Amino acid sequence: MVDLRQLEREFDTVSAALKRRGVDEKLLEKLKVLFEEKKGVQKRLEAAQAEQNRKSRLFGQYKREGKDLSELQKEVSENKERIAALNEELQALEEKLFDLAATIPNIPDPDVPDGEDENDNVEIKRVLEPKTFDFEPKEHWELAEENGWIDFERGVKIAKSRFSALRYEGARLERALINYMLDFNRDRGFEEVYVPFMANADSLFGTGQLPKFADDLFKIEGEDLYMIPTAEVPVTNLFRDEILRREDLPQRLTAYTPCFRKEAGSAGRDTRGMIRQHQFDKVELVCIAAPDQSDEIFDEMVACASDLLASLGLPHRQMLLCAGDMGFSAAKTIDLEVWLPGQGKYREISSISNTRDFQARRAKIRYKEEKKNRLVHTLNGSSLAVGRTLIAIMENYQQADGSIIVPDVLRRYL
């Protein structure tokens, strides 16, 4: 969540940064009006409290002088009611401000480029050159049908559209990729954790999915539980409402989970194949860090995911996302886009984000330093989206006869 005190204190500067994210100017104006109302109520409350203190001191004086206390008691009682009413008004305004702030995205870092969508993202570098084929490369759904690796029709029959079933070597390769990714990340210093695949509303609020993105979540009927959209939610919330020791930071974590998303608003996009599914596997990186550690760790996480792709022999590029294309909680994001020769384009396979203290403020994750409680920084990123990695292997390692070669590093897992 944005820091309301900073927003109130530096309204013009912060609101200008938020406009880069596409935040509606009317919403910002509404916040400004509420800040002014709050300031007015606070002044009246302070004046009433000062008056109460002054009149309370008069009781002793009136008693010593033998004066009638009835009028003074009446005034004190009326002022007490005024203070209670002003406190209620102030609390109501603070709740309105909190509710509005909960829908506002994070403030972008200064080095995040301006822009509205993926067309304005900035390429940082490319890793590995795409292979040149001496035949027309096929897309993954054609290869899947030829090899029997992915059963789209039966996945739909079992559930609905945007579900699929993996079979034979496709199922084995999915499991091999998960194990390889976890081992790779663990060798890079990330502790492996295993977490629930459901999360409560407090957890989803903590990482920024609620309330703004409720329509994209699968809710469990009759329970305060949702199927998780990403391991970022349960792994980050391991530390919700906790105060960590400075010497225990950073906490580097990696986890495998299935992910569940309604994909609201994606009608007509990637309807063929496995690019955009309601259920998919992902291995995630999460880090809980002190503020002075987060920039270096962000670079480490990007390098980890990029080196993982390179170890699989998959050409990819790193893209610095523009302000308008970043996720809700992110202050800075670098996407990794893998080359898919069947499509003849790069497609997102990982997204690494530094959220600064945005999630920590919502989830109340703090650490103690110099006897003070301070907010941590939280970072997260895919390492990697497993299904998309399977797709990338199928397309990049396809042979002229339609067969698919398994990368060397995965063979021991098979």
Contacts of 414 (CB under 8 A, 6+ apart): 172, 173, 176, 406
From the candidates 162, 306, 388, 395, give the one annotated as an active-site residue: 388
233 alpha carbon, distance to own chain's centre:
8
Q: Would you state the pLDDT for residue 108?
A: 98
Q: 388 an active-site residue?
A: yes
From the candidates 162, 261, 361, 362, give the one annotated as an active-site residue: 261
Q: 276 an active-site residue?
A: yes
Helix intervals (H) in 344-413: 358-363, 386-396
Q: Which fold has domain 118-413?
A: BirA Bifunctional Protein; domain 2 (3.30.930)
- Residues at the binding site are 230-232, 261-263, 284, 348-351, 382
Phi, psi of 277 (to 5 degrees): -115, 160
From the candidates 351, 366, 383, 395, give the one annotated as an active-site residue: 351
Superfamily designation of domain 4-101: Serine-tRNA synthetase, tRNA binding domain (1.10.287.40)
Q: Would you state the pLDDT for residue 241?
A: 98
Residue 261: name the closest of 281, 246, 285 by CA.
281
From the candidates 167, 276, 317, 347, give the one annotated as an active-site residue: 276
pTM (2 d.p.) = 0.93
- Residues at the binding site for ATP are 261-263, 348-351
State the sign of the Cα–Cα–Cα–Cα dihedral 86, 91, 94, 95: negative
Instruction: Read off the DSSP letter of residue 210.
Output: T
Q: Would you state the pLDDT for residue 264?
A: 65
Look at the block and give the residue holding tokens 């109460």. 52
Instruction: Read off the DSSP letter of residue 104.
Output: S
Q: Would you state the pLDDT for residue 263?
A: 84
* Domain chopping of the chain, boundaries: 4-101, 118-413
- pLDDT per residue of the chain (414 residues) written in tens, 0 to 9: 999 999 999 999 999 999 999 999 999 999 999 999 999 999 999 999 999 999 888 877 877 777 888 888 898 899 999 999 999 999 999 999 999 999 999 999 999 999 999 999 999 999 999 999 999 999 999 999 999 999 999 999 999 999 999 999 999 999 999 999 999 999 999 999 999 999 999 999 999 999 999 999 999 999 999 999 999 999 999 999 999 999 999 999 999 999 999 986 666 666 677 888 999 999 999 999 999 999 999 999 999 999 999 999 999 999 999 999 999 999 999 999 999 999 999 999 999 999 999 999 999 999 999 999 999 999 999 999 999 999 999 999 999 999 999 999 999 999
Q: 261 an active-site residue?
A: yes
Length of the chain: 414
- Residues at the binding site for L-serine are 230-232, 284, 382
Q: 351 an active-site residue?
A: yes
Write 277-280 long-range contacts (CB < 8 A, 24+). 277/162, 277/163, 277/164, 277/387, 278/159, 278/160, 278/162, 278/163, 278/218, 279/159, 279/163, 280/385, 280/386, 280/387, 280/388
From the candidates 175, 348, 369, 374, give the one annotated as an active-site residue: 348
- The answer to whether the 4-101 and 118-413 domains have the same CATH topology is no
Q: Using an 8 Å Cβ cutoff, are 217 and 226 in contact?
A: yes
